Structure 1
């Protein structure tokens, strides 16, 4: 292991377990291991499921709703 990688791993040991896992996933993805780069939280999974179900129903924002959002942020 190089000195730089050794130093990075030593610093990572001081981080919260969730952050250590995130770093590990990135490292494994970088060396082409079969690990997802990002893992959804249960809440994110539920939001994605809800979004996909709405799309399947054709439940999209109207043009007026999109323009209102754009106007809110000056776009």
Structure 2
């Protein structure tokens, strides 16, 4: 993105609803924090999802090879 493109985008953003502007600021701050940090830090929600996935695996709740192949086939067809 060129400096001119960025300036034009910033002008358009000023016309966005306040909630959309707030969301953009939050996303930009998250990107900036990730660029400054040594690595990615998962959110509490992501950590809960990871823990739930591990618990499912530990409980033997895993997809069969056939189910995995079917899922990949479905996504490839879209």
Same fold, TM-score > 0.5, yes or no = yes
Which interval holds the TM-score relative to the shorter structure?
Answer: 0.5 to 0.7
Q: CA RMSD of the aligned region, Å?
A: 1.9
Q: Which runs of 5+ in 1 are unaligned?
A: 1-14, 30-36
| Pairs aligned (count) | 50
Greater share of residues in helix: 2
**TM-score, L = length of structure 1:** 0.55
Structure 1: 4+ residue segments shifted above 3 A: none
More contact order relative to length (CA 8 Å, sep ≥ 6)? 1
SS of the aligned residue for 1:54 comes to helix
Check if 1:46 corresponds to 2:48: yes
Q: Which runs of 5+ in 2 are unaligned?
A: 1-26
1-side partners of 2:72 and 2:29: how far apart?
38
